[in-house]
Amino acid sequence: MACETVFIQQLRERGFRLTPQRENILSVLHDVDGLVTAEEIYNRVLRINTSVDMSTVYRTLDLLQEFDLVACVEPGDDQRRYELLGIHGPHLHLVCQACGQVIGADSEVAQDFGQRLQDEYGFVPALEHLSVPGLCATCAASGD
């Protein structure tokens, strides 16, 4: 099912409607390859619709996250970045603490870890929202 269809369905179930602003924000996310800040989304949406404000972008991103259509990554530079999950599906984010690169990784690599958390602590992790800080291969090899 396309993310637009899921978004419309989820909005209706909660008594919301698909406004032109929400539709524009989702459209911009479809056109972006990779991670993008809310401000970058806002600037792109303004090219399409000048009646959008920054608070609408943040509220829409919150809804999209709630519906598991968008992931939010905090790479450590005080800037949250967003990614449409419809393209890649849920995955982990490996965040290099030296260069800031964010690498998408299949969430299956953390399944054993997730199962252990559940077995030992009764905690069911949302692995698809997990960001792991560390060093990318290039920075690790250069000793950064």
pLDDT in tens, 90-138: 667 787 888 877 777 777 888 888 899 999 999 988 777 677 888 889 9
Same domain assignment for residues 71 and 129:
no
> Is the pLDDT assigned to residue 13 strictly greater than 80?
yes
Angle between the N-to-C axes of helices 20-31 and 3-13, in degrees from 0 to 180, rounded to the nearest 10 = 150
Token representation of residue 80: 């949250």
* Domain span including residue 58: 1-88
Mean pLDDT of the chain: 84
Same domain assignment for residues 34 and 98:
no
**The predicted structure's pLDDT at residue 144:** 57
Same domain assignment for residues 125 and 73:
no
Same domain assignment for residues 83 and 18:
yes
- Which CATH number goes with the domain that contains 53? 1.10.10.10
- When pLDDT is averaged across residues 49-71 and rounded to a whole number, the result is 90
pLDDT band at 3, cuts 50/70/90?
Answer: low
pTM equals: 0.65
Q: Indicate the number of domains in the chain.
A: 2
pLDDT band at 1, cuts 50/70/90?
Answer: very low
- Which CATH number goes with the domain that contains 99? 3.30.1490.190
